[in-house]
Amino acid sequence: MLSPSEFRNLVSGRRRGLRAACLRAALGAIEVPYGLAVHWRNRRYDRSVRLVRRVGVPVISVGNLTLGGTGKTPMVAWTARRLRRQGLRVTIVSRGYGAEAGGVNDEALELERQLPDVPHLQNPDRVEAAELAIEEFGCQVILLDDGFQHRRIHRDLDMVLIDALEPFGFGRIFPRGTLREPLSGLRRAGIVVLTRADMLERGARQEIRARVAQLAPGALWAEVAHAPEGLLAASGHWQPVASLAGLKVAAFCAVGNPAGFQHTLADCGYRVVAFREFPDHHPYNRGDIESLASWAQQAGASALVCTAKDLVKISVDRLERLPLWALAIGIEFLSGQEIVEARLDEVAAGGEAAG
């Protein structure tokens, strides 16, 4: 199985050679029926409002046009906090991809850590979960985590995140590219947020914005950076980001786009002497933990660093003699914050009325 980075190197064309070309051709053949299925599904929802369920309170979706790794979890957390500051009862609803039977996935565990006062329901039937949230929690606003392609529940606002490092999925639908649906689907967006925008020059960001304006002329625009907030241990202890600057660290992650995490590590000034990636939502077992500890020690690292979503699944402060830290990430608006907040307030007004 290809790692996330290997897959992106393949579909982007960065991986060369006859074998790579043959693999791309095979993936292109699979892309055709998948793309047709997505097209017909979207067409059904576009043509028939009867397929869409309203749940009685405002629904705000935070989602992607491409496969994971756009920084969705920090944006969901920021949005939930913004709504809570307005005094609204918020519930996060998600599908629960990657969760073990009877449990919740890493994203839910991380959001629970950040938002202890915000319930989070995971259910493939998100309409059922939303209705339960209203009935059981008196919820006034539903926040859909990763809901852009979930068309069955009516939403009052679609916020779509685009990663500055990989904005348009290499122009191809999965598995030939990383698009979840054709770029034309972006026209449903109410707000488009360019994440990791600080990693591109102004001119490159403007080119992406111009392309988005063609695809979704009615969408609002905002740009955010992923700002490291500190180093977090499983025990809850924090230390400054700079405390590991200049030290040798071994880093690992199980996220959709490891390149974003690598860029953030470099910006923190860490000397990454070894880097290892696992499939998105990977469930770490004892063998993984032992392997990571041995691997980091052999690399001469002074500490291990992972993402917050990795840490909630490992839940230990040390791997043998080496400390384990998660780099906690928040978002910082570079532009458009006032516009986004005004639109959220407008949508949330319906929740206040419902309450």
pLDDT in tens, 316-350: 999 999 999 999 999 999 999 999 999 999 998 87
119: Cβ contacts below 8 Å, ≥ 6 apart: 91, 92, 133, 137, 139
As a whole number of angstroms, the distance between CA 119 and CA 83 comes to 13
Residue with tokens 């392997």: 291
Sequence-ordered strand ranges (E) for the chain: 59-64, 90-94, 120-122, 141-145, 157-163, 191-195, 220-232, 238-239, 248-253, 271-277, 303-307, 318-319, 322-335
As a whole number of angstroms, the distance between CA 277 and CA 291 comes to 13
Please check whether residue 60 is in contact with residue 155, taking contact to mean a CB–CB distance below 8 angstroms: yes
Work out the pLDDT band at 24, boundaries 50, 70, 90.
very high
189-228 tens-digit pLDDT:
999 999 999 999 999 999 999 999 999 999 999 999 998 9
For range 3-22, the mean pLDDT: 92
**CATH for 51-226+332-354?**
3.40.50.300
Residue 137: pLDDT above 90?
yes
For range 266-290, the mean pLDDT: 92
As a whole number of angstroms, the distance between CA 68 and CA 158 comes to 17
Tokens of 277: 């990636």
pLDDT score for 98:
59
3-state secondary structure of 87: coil
Crossing angle (nearest 10°) for helices 4-12 and 258-267: 110
**CATH for 228-330?**
3.40.50
As a whole number of angstroms, the distance between CA 242 and CA 244 comes to 5
pLDDT score for 349:
86
Q: According to DSSP H, which parts of 230-307 are helical? A: 258-267, 286-298
Task: Compute φ and ψ for 134, nearest 5 degrees.
Answer: -70, -45
Share of the chain above pLDDT 70, in %: 97
3-state secondary structure 127-149: HHHHHHHHHHHCCCEEEEECCCC
CA proximity to 348, closest of 12, 71, 97, 90: 90
Work out the pLDDT band at 101, boundaries 50, 70, 90.
low
For range 6-28, the mean pLDDT: 94
Q: What is the DSSP letter of 179?
A: B
